[in-house]
A and B are shown apart, each in its own frame.
Chain A
Amino acid sequence: MSETRLHLVAHVAGRGVLFDATQVDSVVDLPEIVPTPGAPATIRGLAALRSRVATVIETRRVLGLADDREAGRRGVVTMVDGHLYAVAVDTLEDVSTLAIAPTPAGMALDGGWSAVRGIADGDGETLMVLDLKRLIELAGEQTAEPAR
């Protein structure tokens, strides 16, 4: 089973990921972030995208990758259940039509990686297709930071 659709190619902590272009509203340079203390660590904070407020998802943490405060300056903007989100990525390379294959049988994908919906061949690497809606759900499922 393989299908061909328009995808955004991005990198997070050196990993190549894909987002279904139909799920993406726009792509932005993330502006100044207002922290949301008390919320899960997977939420970086709030950012104003013109007059709309978006919740910024710390993608590295959702996927369990190494933290890097300087990275993740680009945002993939999407609307889920009436709320606007910006999923932080390090770089956005391309928009291209790719053939998506299912993940190899037997691969254990847990944590943030359970948002993976397929794979595609990249430039010397395997690109993982991430479902934005699921990724955002997973970010919210993390337990909130303990008070004090």
Chain B
Amino acid sequence: MDDLLQEFIAETRETLEALSGEIVGWERDPSDQARLGAIFRFVHTIKGSCGFLDLPRLARLSHAAEDVLSAVRAGDRHPDAATVSAILAIVDRIGEIVEAIDAGQPLDDGDEAALIALLEPGARAEVEPVIDVEAEVSPAGASLQPSHSARAPKRTVRLSIDLLDRMMSGVSDMVLARNQVARQLRDAGDPQLEATLERLSMTVAELRDTVTRTRMQRIDALFQALPRMVRDTAAAVGKTVSLVIEGGDVELDREMIEMLRDPLAHMVRNAIDHGIEARADRVFAGKPVSGTLRVAARQAGNLIVIEIADDGRGIDTNRLVEKFVRNQPARAAEIAGWSETRRLELIFEPGLSTREEAGDISGRGVGMDVVKANVEQIGGRISLRNEPGRGLVVTIEVPLTLAILNAVIVEAAETRFALSRQVVEEIVAVDKSALRIERFGAHAMAVVRGRRMPMVDLPALLGLASPETVALIAILTLREGVFALGLSGVVETQELVVKPAAPAVMSAGIYAGQMLPDDGVPILLLDAAGIAARAGLRFERQEVTVESEAVVEAPRALLFRDADQRRRMIAADAVGRIEQVPADAIAPAGDRWWVTREGAAVPLWSARVADPAQVRTILRLQLDGREIGYPIAEAIEIVDLPAEVVSEPGGATLVMLGDEPVELVDPLALFDPETTSGARPLCLLHGSESGWMEAFLRPTIEAAGYRVVREARPGTAVAVALAMEEEASSAPGHVIRLSRHAGTGLYRGDRAALVAALQEYRA
């Protein structure tokens, strides 16, 4: 019994930890079905376990919560704020009781009846008590903290992959056996036996899931070492490099992660050593002093793609060829006829693998042949995208030796095949008017709602049957393009483990691996790119030209309900954070009210507040070291700041949000409560600080009668430009130079002086 109890405690604790995010999410959006489901399952499991563990208090709590949650799930009850709070209070209470059981301490249960009572629909009016109860409960929980923190750290062991594989195939056998038993039992029709089997089934399914995950690891394990490596390598060569890591949550076979460790380290070092230029060279090339290295992982169909991109000098292929020909003059004529891509691949030739030579040519080459060999050894591919002067992107693609794939199982000529859910954009039936198939001899085209794409007949391609059997098409998306695959049926979607197929099977060039679903009949996973290649589809490679034109991001604004219950907006950049403040943090001193946070007093802007002592939520606005608290009733959402602005004679600025005019709060006016009003010449916000200016100064500038832009189209007359002192020389026309410091020049926080300067140019 003790073991069972321990297990229950550990499991509950683990689930609660995992659930904490879901709870917060559900609180924010009570209509979220997935999160509701997760919380329901938690409560349900607790209830089930409590029964045989004889834990009546937990059983009572979880039972009450489950009833309400299932009513919400069924749509019989609306998850209003009171219900959500009551459920969350119960979940918290369950956590406390479990900790108390673990610590062997008694826990007062006086308020549990009250918690359950709050679940009643009628308890809606008692929102306040919920908070009170929570407040009472927390100290009880807090007293248990010592046992909580004294828990031993997570323990791990190392296992051989062979053992894991045996475990996995054992579990798979179990699944197949279970299915057979289930089929035989269904014929027998004994309900009691079936119920038992159902429980066994669930356990087996969970077990399989767990075992499968033991083989997989997040690629994070590989990336964790990078920040340190980048820092050390960059320091050794006297460069500044910032590292960006993306996609660390991609899951990969543990074995593969080990195999990729060396090639990845090699590429990263090369990028820093040879790709990214020295500081002086970067300044000269007009690049930021600090180089950027981006390492990103993503799953693309049956491949894991790892990209290592630097913004360095790229590879000068002419010098690369020159160097290569000097070593091997015999191949000069051959190389002269090569395409740029082929010449670039000289980097992988063993002749260039020593450090000295690589240092001479304008790129890398340190053991690139070795890296390539390593990657190919694990069935991977390595490719380069070179932009001389702008950087190099190395792409390593490795096959998923083992992956759980969401597969669409399709039929062609009475054989089942699988397609990765990721590449399937849509499946359209031939009898629908949305789809038309046009044939041109051996080729075919599918027209789906006016969109034309090449079509490949899967049965015909496989030589299985005549094209007439096409009953539906799957629209498949590749990186290069889109095509339609003609099929004779779709069976279902399933999450399946993919394993590589034998080389002889892979040689067909159209398969990505094999799978074994629960019915025990193998399925081949189709490789969409391979099919396109086999069918001779040629997609024009779309050259993406990077526009040098800077994209001006639309500023965002926070929409909130103000203390006077009206909806207002404020530039999101102006808000440091939104904070809940306890009653005792607000006090009057001198002639105004103050909010005390973390030992510092922040003035409270209280013009619209009847009783400042009742303020519970504030926006903390920051401007160059100054700070004020702006009381609000609640934050509503973040929206794009509309471009059209209406000026009101009273000095307020209005924007149209949908059909509703909303006042845009002028942050500068709050810091410096003086107002001015004024038609609309153009004011250009110039330079790297234009985002800040838009957030803070736009209302002031608009109030001074200007229209604000962050980018002037050629030919438009800019009346005046605002720029920070250091960037003022590059601004066009009349420039108002802003200083960062009060007291020197025109301080950017000095509203009156700015308004005066703007008025001067208008006049």
Q: Which residues of A contact B (CB under 8 A)?
A: 32, 34-40, 42-43, 46-48, 50-53, 55, 81, 83, 85, 136, 139-140, 144-145, 147-148
Q: Which residues of A contact B463 (CB under 8 A)?
A: 37-38, 145, 147-148
- Distance between Cα atoms of A40 and B464 in the complex (Å): 14
Distance from A85 Cβ to chain B, minimum over Cβ atoms (Å): 7
Instruction: State whether the Cβ of B94 lies closer than 8 Å to any Cβ in chain A.
Output: no
* CB closest chain-B residue, reference A57: B504
Against A, the Cβ 8 Å flags (1 = close, 0 = not) of B485-528 are 00000000000000111111101111100101000111110000
- Distance between Cα atoms of A34 and B417 in the complex (Å): 10
Distance from A77 Cβ to chain B, minimum over Cβ atoms (Å): 13
Distance from B21 Cβ to chain A, minimum over Cβ atoms (Å): 35
Known: A34-B415, A53-B514. 18 other contacts (CB 8 A): A34-B416, A34-B522, A36-B524, A37-B508, A38-B463, A38-B534, A39-B504, A43-B502, A48-B522, A50-B176, A51-B172, A52-B169, A53-B499, A55-B505, A140-B502, A140-B503, A144-B508, A147-B534
Q: Is A46 within 8 A of B460, CB to CB? A: no
* CB closest chain-B residue, reference A142: B504
Residue in A34, A37, A139 whose beta carbon sits within 8 Å of that of B504 in the complex: A139
Residue in B462, B502, B507 whose beta carbon sits within 8 Å of that of A85 in the complex: B502
* CB closest chain-B residue, reference A34: B522
Instruction: State whether the Cβ of B382 lies closer than 8 Å to any Cβ in chain A.
Output: no
- Distance between Cα atoms of A140 and B507 in the complex (Å): 8
Instruction: State whether the Cβ of B120 lies closer than 8 Å to any Cβ in chain A.
Output: no
Q: Which residues of B contact A (CB under 8 A)?
A: 169, 172-173, 175-176, 415-416, 442, 460-464, 499-505, 507-511, 514, 516, 520-524, 534-535
Q: Is B505 within 8 A of A148, CB to CB? A: no
Distance from B531 Cβ to chain A, minimum over Cβ atoms (Å): 10
Q: Which residues of A contact B416 (CB under 8 A)?
A: 34
- Distance between Cα atoms of A22 and B173 in the complex (Å): 25
* CB closest chain-A residue, reference B536: A147
Residue in B173, B442, B460, B503 whose beta carbon sits within 8 Å of that of A50 in the complex: B173
Given contacts A51-B176, A144-B509, A147-B461, contact A34 B523 (CB under 8 A): yes
Q: Which 8 A-B pairs have the closest CB atoms?
A: A38-B508, A51-B172, A140-B504, A37-B462, A55-B502, A46-B522, A83-B502, A51-B173
Given contacts A34-B415, A147-B461, A148-B460, contact A39 B522 (CB under 8 A): no
- Distance between Cα atoms of A139 and B504 in the complex (Å): 7
Q: Is A53 within 8 A of B522, CB to CB? A: yes
Q: Which residues of B contact A145 (CB under 8 A)?
A: 463, 508
Distance from B443 Cβ to chain A, minimum over Cβ atoms (Å): 11
Q: Is B507 within 8 A of A39, CB to CB? A: yes
- Distance between Cα atoms of A136 and B505 in the complex (Å): 12
Q: Which residues of A contact B461 (CB under 8 A)?
A: 38, 147-148
Q: Which residues of A contact B509 (CB under 8 A)?
A: 38, 144
Q: Which residues of B contact A46 (CB under 8 A)?
A: 501, 505, 514, 522, 524
Q: Is A83 within 8 A of B503, CB to CB? A: yes
A-B contact pairs, 13 of them (CB 8 A): A34-B524, A35-B464, A37-B462, A38-B462, A38-B508, A48-B516, A50-B176, A55-B501, A55-B505, A83-B501, A83-B503, A144-B508, A144-B509
Q: Which residues of B contact A144 (CB under 8 A)?
A: 507-509
Q: Which residues of B contact A53 (CB under 8 A)?
A: 499, 514, 516, 522
Q: Which residues of A contact B521 (CB under 8 A)?
A: 32, 34, 48
Distance from A62 Cβ to chain B, minimum over Cβ atoms (Å): 10
Q: Is B505 within 8 A of A39, CB to CB? A: yes
Q: Which residues of A contact B501 (CB under 8 A)?
A: 36, 46, 55, 83
* CB closest chain-B residue, reference A53: B522
Q: Is A39 within 8 A of B169, CB to CB? A: no
- Distance between Cα atoms of A17 and B516 in the complex (Å): 32
Q: Which residues of B contact A40 (CB under 8 A)?
A: 504, 507
Q: Is A39 within 8 A of B523, CB to CB? A: no
Q: Is B520 within 8 A of A48, CB to CB? A: yes
Q: Which residues of B contact A39 (CB under 8 A)?
A: 504-505, 507-508
Distance from B141 Cβ to chain A, minimum over Cβ atoms (Å): 46
Q: Is A47 within 8 A of B522, CB to CB? A: yes
Distance from A4 Cβ to chain B, minimum over Cβ atoms (Å): 32
- Distance between Cα atoms of A140 and B464 in the complex (Å): 21
